[in-house]
Amino acid sequence: MNTVLRTEKKYLLTIEEFLKYSAFLENYMIQDSHNGTHGYCIRSLYFDSVYDRDFYEKEDGVEMRRKIRLRIYDPKADFAMLEIKQKEGNSQLKRSLRISREDAVRMTEGYYDGLLKYPEPLAAECYGILQMYVYRPKTIVQYNRKAFVAKENKIRVTFDNNIIANEASSELFSEQLFMYPVLDKFQVILEVKYNGFLLSYIQDLLQIVDKNQLSVSKYCLARQQSYSS
């Protein structure tokens, strides 16, 4: 099981700003090993209560809130990452657990008993939340990410674009999903994730883009888009 506690800042950029700032960061930070030439793909299935508890808590700015999701990086993968993100003050606590493809598929169908065979406490905690609050698969969100890491203190800077979603299907591993756009394809979300302090060159970058800071999650963006359609 992996646990990360960090502060997260989000900003909305144009594609031109993305190209400019990512080129700048290449001079100072290490590229994520999964980047390749154009970054890498992330696909997440978000769960929420039958009354969209997590969505509305985020919309209403509730201080203590959470999201539960399954995440994959390739529809052909034989595993998924079960993740729970909790907001604690100004910080985000993310805990994750690798589960088998078989158990992940069962979760996409609304059956969570497969989590009970994992010895990690996170599995039992997620099972309890999913059952107690009647969580169901809600939305698949997919995007392309280019990521950078600062070796000094593990600052992580990511650029996410081509954000698309699907609320008609929960088939996380499908290679034939129809997806609708969440943002304009020329818009990019910059996320800066850190624990402790920011290095000066990243502080300088944030001062430039600060006017575009976001507070909304990709899950909420996808749900808002579906409501407005």
pLDDT digits (tens, 9 = 90+) for 144-203: 999 999 977 789 999 999 999 999 999 999 999 999 999 998 999 999 999 878 889 899
| Helices vs strands, H then E, count in the chain | 6, 11
In this predicted structure, what is the pLDDT of residue 197?
Answer: 84
59: left (phi over 0), alpha (psi -120 to 50) or beta: alpha
CB 118 within 8 A of CB 108: no
DSSP 32: P
pTM over 0.85, yes/no: yes
Beta strands, E only, the chain: 2-14, 30-31, 40-49, 65-72, 79-88, 91-100, 135-150, 155-166, 180-181, 187-194, 213-214
* CA 162 – CA 15 distance, rounded (Å): 10
pLDDT computed for residue 191 by the predictor: 94
- Using DSSP's 3-state secondary structure scheme, residue 125 falls into helix
Residue 229 has pLDDT above 80, yes or no: no
Q: What is the pLDDT of residues 77-128, one digit of tens each?
A: 999 999 999 987 678 899 999 999 999 999 999 999 999 999 999 999 999 9
